[in-house]
Structure formats: C-alpha cells, structure tokens
Amino acid sequence: MEPLLKHIKLRAAAACIGFASTCGIQLSVATAAARAPNCVSTSGNVTVCGPFSLTAGSATLTSHDLTLSMQSDGNLVLHRAPGKELLWQSNTAGACSGSCVARFQADGNLVLYKNGSTAYWNTTTDGNPGAQLALAPLPPYLSIRTTSPKRQAFLQAGQTTFQNYAPGQIVWAAGQNLNWLAPLDPFGGYPGRPGAADYMQLFQAGAPGWPVAFSHINVFKLYTQNFIYFQNKLHPPDNLKTIINFLKANNIALAIEAEPVTCPNLKGSEAVAVPSGPEQARAIALEVNSLGGTIAYAAMDEPLDFFMRITAQGSLSACPFNSLQTLAENIATFYAAYQAVFPAIQIGDIEYGLTGTQMSEWATAYRNATGVSLAFYHDDAFQAGWGHNTAAVQAALKGADGSMGPGIPYGLIRNSGQPPGKSDSAWVSKAKQNMDFYNSLGLEAPTQNIFQTWEASPSRVLPESGDSLTNVVAHFFDYRPK
C-alpha cells in the first residue's frame, strides 16, 4: 500500500448519476457498501457532493450539462454537453489498467486508485473533514470546498498568528482549459494609454462583433485601477453593473488583477498601489458584492518580482518582510480579506522570468502561509531572454504539491511582448507571431491562455475581424491544432 494511504481514509460512499435514486456502481472490496447519493443543488446551479466513489466505466456524476467520469485507463475527466467538451482531466491516462476508482473521501481528499487500494493521484486536500466536491456552470467548474470555518496558523513578523477562513473556501479547483480576456479599459486614466474606446460594446446581449472569441472566453479580468475610478465616480457607475450582469448571464467568471503587497513605507511601486493589500481587497470585494457580482479569481501583479527588485536595490528596510516566507505571510492577509467576502475566491500569481528553483520556493512559501496552493501561474512572457527557464518552471509547477499531486496550472499571457507593437496592426501581428515562437520552443501547451493588453494598442477590442484584441483570440482558436 502506498505511503499516501497513511493520510487517506478508505471509507467512501458511492456517487450516483445526477440525483437518481439508484447508483449502479460496483464498489471494490476496500470500500464501504453503496449508499444513497449525497448531492444537493445550491444557488446558481451548483451541485455539491459528500464522499463518493466512481468506478471506471460504470458510473458518472452528472450536474446539469456537466459530467464527471472515471475512465478505464485511469483518467478522471470532466465534460460538458453537448459535444462532450473537455473542461478538465487529471492527466493520468495509462496509470491504471483495471479496477480504477476515483474516491472523494471524508477527509476532503479526491484520490485515484488502481487495484482498489494503490493511490496514484490526489488533490492533496486531506485535513478538510466535511469538505464537499462542487460542480458549477462557470469556472471553476470542479472544486473542493470547505463547509466549516478554518483556522490557519502562520508566522507574521516573527510571531505566530492565525488567519480565519470562512466556510466555502476552495482548497483545490480544476484549472485547465481556461481562457481569459483582459483588454485595457478607457476608465483608469493610465498615462499615455487611453484604453479601448469601444470597451463597453463587449457587453452587449449576444456579443455582436466577437462570436468566435466569445465562444471560448470563460474568464474576464478587470484591473485594480477600474475600481479605484469606479469608487471615485470618475466614470459612469452603471458600467460596472453592466459588466457584472453580462458576465453572470453568460457564465463567464469575473477576475481582478490585484496588488497584494502591503508595504506602507514604499509608495508608487508597480506592485504597491495605493491602497494595496487587504485594504484594497476589502474595498473592491464589497463594491462588487453590493452590485450582485462575485470575484472568482484574483491574479496577483508580480509580488515576487517586486520582492526581488527591492532586495536587489537594498530597500527591504522599507517593507515588513525579508524573505519569501514573510512575503507570503504579508500576502496571506490580502487573500483573507477577499475570502471574507467571496469564500470561494481563487488566488494566483503573475510573474516573469523565474527559474524553476524560484518557482518551487515561492509556491512552497505561499502554501505554507495561506494553507492552499496558488490557483494558477500566469507567465508574462515574450520579453528579452524569456524562454530559457520555462521548461523548469513548468516542471516546478507540476511538482508543487508532490509527485502525485495535481500541480499548479501554467498560463501564458498572449500579447505582443516587449517592446510592444506601436500600432494596432503591429501589436496584433506580433501577438500572432508569438504563438509560433512559443510552439517553436517545444514546451507543453499552457492550460490557461490570457489575452491581455496594458499598452496603448490595440486601441479597439472589436470587431474580431479587425486589428483588435478579440481578433487575436479568434486567430488563436483557428490556429492551434485541433
């Protein structure tokens, strides 16, 4: 029996198809007898389930148009009907040749077994008794969420402290096949970068002007500056409500690019907006919540790069941290501020040019401080010298939670790189060329694609047949191998 089983409870109940009263699941001798399904439907067409087992080729777990199934080759997969669109997979095909079973256990861990007892993959979420597995119509499509308050111990300024997390905290979520759109808006007052004048046209019913891109985008990201300007009433307040309503109606998750670091003695840095950290997080979360919205993802704006720059400059005395661990502890309060309003929020990171060792050390420090892994890593690529360490970073992400863990999803920011294209046509052309460049490196395909600009170009988001950001999205999905 694998060492992992020391931390895994073997007792599990069967899951059924949807809410059927009979299961038809063949349990292995190591599991308990089948019992009635333990799934309920909550608001927003989300289905949450207690402990269950799925045996290969026998049963599926279905919620509305989502189906979770265990394949005979050992791969656990999530599809969406019609057409069986693949939303997520455990990437374990070939790991099992018979008696394959997926068990969501009472300790909160989702584990894949072969021969009924040998674990070969898990979500590393044991220690969360009472947690539920959730299937949702918008990202994250599949997740594991707590059902009771959680108390996380960590050090801060050399002292042991505790962070309280509300019930509903996501301790793991499927992060594959996510496509983000993040145009520069015309609201933020970015010097020399006016943003897309037709930005609000994206949010018209039926998404006219971008049908191909619209069919693939499932996460839309706003910038921190958006909210500062909304809060100060510097542009029409109805715009944010329009955006929220459109995203909700179309099952597109809302994300925010966030400034996580609290560094009161060092102002004006890219990674330290004013306000930043938990103060900023709380204000943004409450505003979105008041308009009926939910922030599903927060993408941290290069906190590790900021830490390395101030370390190189000898400016650490201005900030309350002096190591990766204390940086992560600083950020833990930012995560908690968002999580207090949106319990299921996922926090990931945007960085550039890391080595595999730096990635591994940073992922470990973050998990130690917050109690959860980074939800994703977005690579701000296509800059001078980029690409040499990418394979090592991807390997570090895969092993971030052990050889049998799910790893941290790798995402690639699809833009024109540095220096950016100075016109719409040049920016779009360079962004497309970078698709070829990435493929030439022989690296694994990213599991997330982020179509984003923070430059003056492209000056329009529509139509997708022109020199626009949605044209880059449409080109990508026509271009990539089917």
CA distances from 349 to 82, 276, 294, 366 (A): 33, 16, 19, 10
Q: Which two tokens stand for residue 46?
A: 């989300």
Q: Which two tokens stand for residue 315?
A: 């400016």
Band of residue 228 on the pLDDT scale cut at 50, 70, 90: low
Residues of the chain with pLDDT > 90, as a percent, come to 66
DSSP output for 397-430: HHTTT-TTS----EEEEES--SSPPSSHHHHHHH
Q: Alpha helices, DSSP H only, in 324-451?
A: 324-341, 356-370, 390-398, 424-440
- Confidence at residue 373, expressed as pLDDT on a 0 to 100 scale: 97
Domains and CATH numbers, the chain: 3-144 (2.90.10.10), 175-479 (3.20.20.80)
Mean pLDDT over 169-180 rounds to: 97
Mean pLDDT over 374-395 rounds to: 93
Return the DSSP state at 275: S
52-55/118-122 β-pairing: unpaired
Find the range with the poorest average confidence among 44-48, 265-269, 315-319: 265-269
- The mean pLDDT value of the chain amounts to 86
- Confidence at residue 74, expressed as pLDDT on a 0 to 100 scale: 95
Share in percent of the chain as helix, strand, coil (round to 5): 30, 25, 50
